[in-house]
Amino acid sequence: MMRRLSVLPLLVLAILIVPPSASAVNIRVGIGDQSPRMFADNNYQSLNLKLTRYFVEWNTATQPAELAKADAFVAAAAARNVKVLMHISTDDIKSGTPKLPSVAAYRTNVGALIRRYKARGVTDWGAWNEANHKTQPTAKSPRRAAQFFGEMRKLCTGCKIVALDILDQAKAEAYIASFYKAAGSNASRASIVGIHNYSEVNRKLTERRKRTESVRKYPGTKRIIAAVRKANKKAKFWYTETGGLTKQGTAFPCDDDRAADRTRYMFSLAKKFDRSIDRLYTYNWTAAADCDSSDFDGGLINADGSVRPAFNVFKSKLRSFKR
């Protein structure tokens, strides 16, 4: 009897010392932003994150001011040992008629960026940000988006490349099919796909609401995964841009409590798909100076540096995910 009792404390001790990471959701989490100031924030440092995302105009190498911004971001991330996913994007997001670069122009300009930042440790890249959205010149040309991926593969050997970055909007599945058809022999190599599931997260779309108009319009994670795997059964997915929004146009008026609730839902949704999703990058860190007058506000931190309710939810839920 005494021998059996003596074993009990050891069993209890063994349970207590199991590291928290042993039960962690197998998804690495980071925060995307466009300002290096994030890395100096004590609130950010308390999260101990090791991933971030930065989108860069495709011809930044010819723009000294934009190049200086990217340099500063990469340097600040490196100083905190945070790995940057650098995502190529349009140079004219506000006009409504962004110009589509030629493949040759992409090769020259993006090649210059890759050479510059790969030497500084950036080996995670995205061929084109949110390729199917109307603000991007690739929206009407999945073929060109596929060509850009093919070029990036040649330009960045040994890199992890987000081949296709897709927003969960109407006709996303058709865009995916066209992209993979155009990719040809590169289709099997287009094995990392980025998802921007803002609609799914902020409208709290679920399979149980499948018959509603919103769920039919916005495909969400499950349908995007299914569409990609018709062409590439081994594909894995990163939530390259997501988050609970405080403000988005007229659809989501300023509301900190709603943003916190949707941040909670973001994590529960990621957990549901943890067999397919490898990474999650929420966007972004610092809020707009004035929420009411802004078109977009996804900040976890107010402009004055104080934390929002969404930050507290983020920090709490992060404990069961990987860095």
E-strand spans in 236-318? 236-242, 247-248, 277-283, 296-297
CA distances for 247 relative to 190, 258, 262, 282, 292, angstroms:
33, 10, 12, 15, 8
One-letter amino acid of 91 = D
* Predicted pLDDT at 93: 80
Length of the chain (residues): 323
* Predicted pLDDT at 211: 58
Q: What string of pLDDT tens digits covers the 323 residues of the chain? A: 444 444 445 444 444 444 444 468 999 999 999 999 999 999 999 999 999 999 999 999 999 999 999 999 999 999 999 999 999 999 998 767 789 999 999 999 999 999 999 999 999 999 999 999 999 999 999 999 999 999 999 999 999 999 999 999 999 999 999 999 999 999 999 999 999 999 999 999 875 555 566 667 899 999 999 999 999 999 999 999 999 999 999 999 999 999 999 999 999 999 999 999 999 999 999 999 999 999 999 999 999 999 999 999 999 999 999 99
Residue 11 domain flag: no
Residue 8 domain flag: no
Cα within 13 Å of Cα(45), Cβ side: 9
Residue 45 domain flag: yes
For the domain that residue 91 is a member of, what is the CATH number? 3.20.20.80
CA distances for 103 relative to 108, 138, 146, 210, angstroms:
9, 12, 10, 40
Q: What is the CA radius of gyration of the chain?
A: 21
Please confirm whether the linkage preceding 312 is cis (ω < 30° from 0).
Answer: no
Residue 175 domain flag: yes
* Predicted pLDDT at 97: 79
Determine the structural domain holding residue 217 and report its residue range. Answer: 23-322
Residue 9 domain flag: no
Q: Which helix (H) or strand (E) holds 183?
A: helix 172-183
| Count of other CB atoms within 10 angstroms of residue 93 | 15
Query: Distance between CA 304 and CA 309 in Å, rounded?
Result: 15
From 90, 96, 103, select the one nearest 60 (Cα to Cα). 90
* Predicted pLDDT at 212: 64
Residue 17 domain flag: no
Residue 5 domain flag: no
Q: How many domains does one find in the chain?
A: 1
Query: Distance between CA 285 and CA 34 in Å, rounded?
Result: 9
Residue 18 domain flag: no
For 281-302, give the DSSP string: EEE-SBPPS-TTT-SEE--SB-
Q: Residues 6 or more apart from 289 whose CB is under 8 A from it?
A: 303
DSSP letter (8 states) at residue 11? H
